[in-house]
């Protein structure tokens, strides 16, 4: 059996354990800060949530640089919390580090099954679909689809040449980012949506493309992947992604000035529950997935058309929260 | 209820609220409105400050909770590291079988140890620091741990610069002698070895010869 004490007192071990506990503290403080300062704007909420992801990840080397003795026994004696004391405490004859290990293993499995594999599959699927189903350039695009897209794009900052039509009846619309961003729309969605709905949905995707020019989410995803064992990072990253959808909704409303159309478009894209009714574990899993997707969509629908007004100075609130978390976590070793 | 209908109801409610606001504004003149706006701006600043105060109070509560929680493992297991007043107290709490006391001390070192930290969990270990008779300065530090532990984690005083590192054999034990400058700027030296059950480390500001004699006095 490996020397668990040597592992936990090594630089890597201390980093891993402290990142986890510091994320928990950061998450708690950020949630309280959002309530105390009544932060409601998605862009501000996302900025606060990014603290939970970035700060614990970045601060450990800085703490050690400020005080190389921070991990020593003597610092621990006077610290606010010595995590190792908890980890080596035996409850019913079992050291608590087994519990921590179980949580980390479980989170890693969830990360691989729910995030990493689906992302790879989605990437391959989108590539194969765009290659197989996209109407070839030499193909004559159905006139009515092009006309509808042109009408919907009127006044929006996006060119029709960068929209790829996928020959499929599903209601799907997604975008790719990069140097030449593209929007992919199925013939199904172009057919089912009227001009205003299509315009709102396209504006939402334009929002994603505009936002992708600031690669903060990409960096956040990389950090989240490095912290694959951290359940707090998993939860927070999902919240960050949900806020991103809301931010793009706001951009869509700003571009179209038609919240009603966006509301309808999102509502129309909500899948029918019956489609997910399956038996066994697969059924439960798809029901859960459907439920969480449904909650997220409802959340988005409920805020469309509402006004977000921040009573507090969010920059001051943000800076103060960062200082508070960084200060508190310094004494948690 | 269709989605459009839901949205329309939501919009109607918002319009109703905005209508009430507009009606209120119709009754106040521009000067009053400006004053109201100014007041609302002021209250925003007050709101931010109020938030800072609340957050400070909450962080004190969190810090207190963490500190209290930190005491709990020591209640469950008395063996976690803590400072002790005397070797007798260590023996009473952790058992005396492991503590090795040197049978030689250089002159000028004050007995008993001025600072003792010991633990049984997660591994057995003790550090004893001794002061000079003439000053309050720590001149000798003796660390002992079991083989699961690392003497490094008990080092309060460490080398800033190592000038020489030599391997010696003392009483058939392989020992490493280091000579250099310590964190506090004093010339110091250390000797490190292990037997079948324990690791030892002595750090001293005496001469290397004296340090080796202390080590010899601990090897039985």
Provide the ipTM.
0.82
Chain B nearest CA to A272, separation (Å): 14
A82 and B70 within 8 Å at the Cβ level: the answer is yes
Lowest mean pLDDT among A99-108, A175-184, A280-289: A280-289
Greater confidence (A194 vs A134) lies with: A194
Alpha-carbon gap, residue A114 to A285, rounded angstroms: 11
Which of A28, A29, A88 lies closest to B122 in CB terms? A88
Contact A85 B70 (CB under 8 A): yes
Question: Residue B163's CB: how many other CB atoms inside 10 A?
Answer: 11
* Cβ within 8 Å, pair B77-A4: no
Inter-chain touch B4–A320, beta carbons under 8 Å:
no
Q: Which residues does chain A have within 8 Å of residue B138's beta carbon, measured at their own beta carbons?
A: none
Q: What is the DSSP letter of A135?
A: P
Alpha helix locations (H) across A213-230?
A: 216-226
Axis crossing angle, helix A11-36 with helix A314-330, rounded to the nearest 10: 140
Nearest to B70 among A81, A91, A321 (CB): A81
Contacts of A81 in chain B (CB under 8 A): 66-67, 69-70
> What's the pLDDT score for residue B36?
47
**Is the Cβ pair A5, B154 closer than 8 Å?**
no
Phi, psi angle pair for A79, to nearest 5°: -80, 170
How would residue A138 be classed by pLDDT, with cut points 50, 70 and 90?
A: very low
Instruction: Write out the H or E segment, with its range, that includes residue B74.
Output: helix B30-76
How far off is chain B from A104, nearest CA to CA, in Å?
A: 21
Q: What pLDDT, on the 0 to 100 scale, is given for residue B45?
A: 86
Q: What is the pLDDT of residue A137?
A: 46
Nearest-angstrom CA–CA distance, A94 and A87: 10
Q: Does B53 touch chain A (CB under 8 A)?
A: no
Q: Hey, which of A120-134, A191-205, B68-82 has the most confident mean pLDDT?
A: A191-205
Chain B residue with minimum CA distance to A324: B59
Residues 6+ away with beta carbon under 8 Å from A74: B117, B156
Contacts of A312 in chain B (CB under 8 A): 44, 47-48, 51
Average pLDDT over residues A198-208: 94
pLDDT tens profile A267-317: 888 766 555 555 666 666 667 777 777 788 888 888 886 766 778 888 999
Which of B48, B119, B156 lies at the smallest CB-CB distance from A312? B48
* B170 CB within 8 Å of a chain A CB: no
Q: How far is CA A49 from CA A21, A132, A173, B172, in A?
A: 16, 39, 27, 60
Chain A residue with the nearest C-alpha to that of B123: A5
Closest residue on chain A to B125 (Cα) = A73
Residue B90 and residue B84 in contact, taking contact as beta carbons nearer than 8 Å: yes
Question: Is the Cβ pair A72, B121 closer than 8 Å?
Answer: no
Q: What is residue B166's three-state secondary structure?
A: strand
Do the beta carbons of residue A286 and residue A272 sit within 8 Å?
Answer: no
From the centroid of its chain, how far is CA B130? Answer: 22
**pLDDT for residue B146:** 87
The residue among A240, A321, A45 whose CA lies nearest residue B48 is A321
Measured CA to CA, the distance from residue A255 to residue A260 in angstroms comes to: 13
Low-confidence residues in chain B, pLDDT < 70: 1-7, 10-43, 96-97, 220
Mean pLDDT of chain A: 86
Cα A192–chain centre separation: 29
pLDDT value for B33: 45
Which CA distances in Å does A208 have to A92, A182, A252, B177? 51, 11, 10, 63
Q: B142: which strand partners? A: B128, B202
On the 0-12 / 13-18 / 19+ scale of CB atoms within 10 A, A169 is: exposed
Instruction: Dihedral sign for Cα A94, A100, A101, A102, please.
Output: positive
pLDDT of residue B30: 46
Asked whether the beta carbons of B212 and B170 are under 8 A apart, the reply is yes
pLDDT in tens, A48-69: 999 999 999 999 999 999 998 8
Angle between helices A231-256 and A97-110 (to 10 degrees): 40
Query: What value does the mean pLDDT take over residues A113-127?
Result: 80
C-alpha to C-alpha distances, A68 to A61, A71, A74, A80, B121, nearest whole angstrom: 9, 7, 12, 17, 23
pLDDT at A224: 93
Distance of residue A136 Cα from the nearest chain B Cα, in angstroms? 36
CA-based diameter of chain B, in Å? Answer: 100
Q: pLDDT for A3-51, tens place per residue?
A: 777 788 788 889 999 999 999 999 999 999 999 999 989 999 999 999 9
Distance CA A322, CA A68 (A): 22
Among partner residues B11, B47, B56, which is closest to A305 by beta-carbon distance?
B11
Do A312 and B44 lie within an 8 Å CB cutoff? Answer: yes
Residue B93: what pLDDT?
87
Closest chain B residue to A92, measured at CA: B76
- Which residues in B lie closer than 8 A to residue A32 (C-beta atoms)? 55, 58
Between chain A and chain B, the number of residue pairs with CB atoms below 8 A apart is 128
Residue A245 has pLDDT above 50, yes or no: yes
Q: What local confidence, expressed as pLDDT, does residue A170 receive? A: 86
């Amino acid at each position: 059996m490996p020397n668990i004490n040597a592992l936990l007192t090594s630089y890597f071990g201390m980093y891993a354990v402290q990142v986890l506990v510091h994320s928990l503290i950061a998450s708690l403080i950020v949630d309280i800060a959002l309530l105390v300062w009544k932060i409601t704007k998605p862009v501000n909420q996302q900025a606060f949530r990014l603290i939970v992801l970035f700060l614990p990840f970045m601060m450990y080397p800085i703490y050690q640089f400020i005080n190389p003795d921070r991990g020593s026994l003597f610092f621990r004696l006077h610290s606010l919390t010595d995590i190792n004391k908890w980890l080596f405490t035996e409850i019913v004859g079992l050291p608590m580090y087994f519990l921590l290990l179980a949580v980390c293993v479980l989170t890693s499995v969830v990360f691989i099954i729910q995030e990493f594999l689906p992302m790879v599959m989605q990437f391959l699927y989108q590539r194969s679909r765009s290659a197989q189903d996209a109407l070839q350039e030499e193909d004559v695009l159905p006139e009515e689809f092009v006309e509808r897209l042109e009408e919907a794009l009127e006044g929006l900052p996006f060119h029709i040449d960068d929209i790829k039509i996928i020959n499929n009846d599903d209601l799907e619309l997604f975008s790719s980012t990069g140097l030449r961003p593209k929007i992919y729309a199925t013939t199904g969605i172009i057919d089912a949506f009227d001009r205003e709905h299509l315009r709102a949905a396209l504006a939402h995707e334009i929002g994603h493309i505009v936002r992708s020019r600031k690669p903060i989410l990409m960096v956040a995803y990389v950090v989240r992947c490095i912290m694959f064992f951290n359940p707090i990072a998993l939860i927070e990253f999902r919240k960050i992604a949900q806020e991103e959808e809301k931010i793009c909704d706001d951009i869509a409303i700003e571009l179209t000035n038609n919240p009603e159309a966006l509301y309808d478009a999102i509502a129309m894209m909500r899948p029918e529950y019956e489609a997910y009714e399956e038996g066994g574990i697969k059924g439960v899993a798809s029901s859960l997935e459907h439920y969480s997707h449904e909650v997220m969509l409802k959340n988005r629908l409920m805020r469309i058309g509402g006004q977000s007004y921040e009573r507090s100075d969010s920059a001051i609130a943000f800076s103060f929260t960062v200082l508070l978390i960084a200060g508190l976590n310094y004494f948690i070793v | 209820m269709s989605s459009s209908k839901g949205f329309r109801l939501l919009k109607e409610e918002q319009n109703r609220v905005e209508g009430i606001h507009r009606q209120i504004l119709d009754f106040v003149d521009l000067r009053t409105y400006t004053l109201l706006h100014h007041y609302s701006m002021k209250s925003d600043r007050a709101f931010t400050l109020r938030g800072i105060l609340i957050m400070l109070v909450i962080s004190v509560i969190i810090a207190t909770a963490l500190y209290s929680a930190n005491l709990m493992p020591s209640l469950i297991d008395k063996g976690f590291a803590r400072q002790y007043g005397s070797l007798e107290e260590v023996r009473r709490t952790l058992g005396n079988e492991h503590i090795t006391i040197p049978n030689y001390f250089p002159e000028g070192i004050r007995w008993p140890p001025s600072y003792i930290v010991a633990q049984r969990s997660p591994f057995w270990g003790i550090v004893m620091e001794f002061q000079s008779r003439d000053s309050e300065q720590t001149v000798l530090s003796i660390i002992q741990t079991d083989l699961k532990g690392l003497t490094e984690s008990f080092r309060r005083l460490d080398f800033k610069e190592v000038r020489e590192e030599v391997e010696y054999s003392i009483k058939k034990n392989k020992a490493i002698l280091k000579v250099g400058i310590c964190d506090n700027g004093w010339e110091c030296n250390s000797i490190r070895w292990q037997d079948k059950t324990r690791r030892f480390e002595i750090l001293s500001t005496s001469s290397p010869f004296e340090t080796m004699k202390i080590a010899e006095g601990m090897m039985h």
